[in-house]
Amino acid sequence: MKNIGKLEYYLLALIAITLFNTFLGEQFASTALVSVLIALTVTYKGFIVIDHFMELKGANKNLRFLMRLYFVIFPSLIIVSAFY
C-alpha cells in the first residue's frame, strides 16, 4: 500500500469540507446560519490552499497577508449579505 503524504490529507480534508457544505445547504432551512458556516469553511479552505498548495507559508509575508486577506474579506461579504 502506498503511503499517503501530508498534501493528500489536506486534499481529503478539503473534499470532506466541501461535501459537508453541500450537506448543510441541502438539510438546513436557515439560510443565514448556513451562509455563515459556509463562509467560515471557505475561509479555512482558502488558508489551507494558500499555505500548503500554493506554498506561500514560507513566501513573502506581504504576499501571504494579501492572499489571506482575500479569504477573509469575501467570506465576510457573504456573511453581511446573508443578513440583508
Residue 1 pLDDT greater than 60, yes or no: no
Contact 10, 52 (CB under 8 A): yes
In 3D space, the residue among 81, 80, 78, 84 whose CA is nearest the CA of residue 21 turns out to be 78
| Residue for grid cell 498548495 | 53
pLDDT digits (tens, 9 = 90+) for 49-59: 999 899 888 88
Report the C-alpha dihedral over residues 55, 56, 57, 58, rounded to 10 degrees.
Answer: 100
CA pair distance 36, 30, nearest whole angstrom: 10
CA pair distance 9, 42, nearest whole angstrom: 17
pTM greater than the 0.85 cutoff = no
**Per-residue pLDDT at 28:** 83
pLDDT digits (tens, 9 = 90+) for 26-80: 888 888 888 899 999 999 999 999 998 998 888 889 999 999 999 999 999 988 9
